[in-house]
Amino acid sequence: MEPGRAFAGLASPARAGRVHGLLLAAALQVAASGAEARVAALNEARRLVNAGKPDAAVETLRTLPAGDPQAALLRGVAHYHANHPVQAIEALAPAVPKLPEGSLERREAVQVLGLASYLAGRIADAIPYLEQTRLWAEGNPELSYVLGMAYVQTRQADKARATWARSFGVPPASAAAHLLAAQMMVRAELDELADAELKQALALDPRLPRASFLLGQTALFRGRLDEAVALFKRELDVNPGDAMSFYRLGDAYTRQLKWDDALAALQKSVWINPYFSGPYILLGKTYMKKGDAVAAEGMLRQAIGYDPNNKAAHYMLGQLLQQAGRTEEAKRELDTAERLQAPTDR
């Protein structure tokens, strides 16, 4: 075979170079097109999250690989806003180390990972992320609330108090800080921790408003009625215009069946704050026990006027009307009560 014919089917170097250049250009064009599609998907996902459409954002990101840290960040943020905390954690946890240290993206991932962990009930896991976030978001009230609650739910009362004290601008060791911590602990239904904080607050400032009231409220809910009465009276010594203290004092007296004492306390409560339904309900109960059906009905209807969805008020009014032989009215009130949920007592 002739040498020329052996290589006849091969391209010349010049032609091969042109082909290689065309292939490279095509590859670069495909890569650029893919990069543009990625950026477009990321931008669209962010827009959808900001527009309150996190589920749509998740769908938009399905075209991007799971290992893409930017996509994982947005996927986690979208799941968090869609109230899917576990999926948010699954997306964000592996993405955080891949994001540049100190970048806005990493900070966002850490913050959302902490909040999602808290919402998922993984309180201990949430704390390190929330503590990192505090370094650059000290003034964020949502962060302070969640971090404080995370501390208190893991029984780190001192750290919880210090966190809330910074948020409210009071010294961490002050009576005010102990009182604030106690109020947050009551909200979390951690009464034993709250009682300890309140006692420390009163040791620092025996005339601190609200502290004796909160202790009295815990005593009332636990059935320690004499202690509750004494604490509500102590609160009224330092805070004589507090309608809630009169209300709870009246509540304690009704549980002790001291109807005259209850009547006096409850009347003072509505004089100070006439727009809260609670005292009217107890006044209705007190007047029923004292045999004054007309006054009882008036109090219960007043309570319903301020709080139409109060189960107890409708139920007691139904009982009163039933006793008076007003059957149809009674049935209407009792049916309404049955449809309603009972309010919490906190």
Q: What is the pLDDT of residues 97-124, one digit of tens each?
A: 999 999 999 999 999 999 999 999 999 9
Task: Share the mean pLDDT of the chain.
Answer: 90
* 292, part of any domain: no
Say whether pLDDT at 45 is over 90: no
Does 344 fall in a domain? no
Domain total for the chain?
A: 1
Question: Residues 232-280: pLDDT tens digits?
Answer: 999 999 999 999 999 999 999 999 999 999 999 999 999 999 999 999 9
Query: Rounded to an integer, what distance in angstroms lies between the CA atom of residue 298 and that of residue 296?
Result: 5
Residue 59 belongs to some domain of the structure: yes
Query: Helix (H, G, I), strand (E, B), or coil: what is residue 160?
Result: helix
Domain for residue 125, yes or no? Answer: yes
**Residues written for the chain:** 346
Could you tell me which of 343, 270, 265, 268 has the C-alpha nearest to residue 308? 343
- Is 293 among the domain residues? no
Q: What pLDDT does residue 63 have?
A: 86
Report the distance separating Cα 296 and Cα 235, nearest Å.
28
Residue 202 lies in a domain: no
Band of pLDDT at residue 10, cut at 50, 70 and 90 = very low
- The span from the CA of 112 to the CA of 85, in Å, is 9
Which residue's structure tokens are 């009930």?
121
CATH label of the domain that carries residue 127: 1.25.40.10
How far, CA to CA in Å, does 190 sit from each of 74, 143, 149, 201, 323?
36, 20, 11, 17, 41
Check if the beta carbon of residue 239 is closer than 8 Å to that of residue 209.
yes
Is residue 316, in this structure, part of any structural domain at all? no
Q: CB–CB of 310/277 below 8 Å? A: yes
Q: How many CB atoms are located within 10 Å of the residue 166 CB?
A: 17
Q: Residue 344's pLDDT is what?
A: 59
Domain of 72?
38-137
Q: What are phi and psi of 188, to 5 degrees?
A: -85, 5
Concatenated DSSP letters of 133-192: HHTT-TT-HHHHHHHHHHHHHTT-HHHHHHHHHHHHTS-TTSHHHHHHHHHHHHHTT-HH
Dihedral sign computed on CA atoms, order 268, 270, 273, 277: positive
Rounded distance between C-alpha atoms, residue 248 and residue 262, angstroms = 10
DSSP SS3 for 218: helix
Q: Is 69 a member of any domain?
A: yes
Question: Which phi and psi angles does 222 have, rounded to 5°?
Answer: -95, 5
233-236: list long-range contacts, CB under 8 Å, 24+ apart: 235/209, 235/210, 235/211
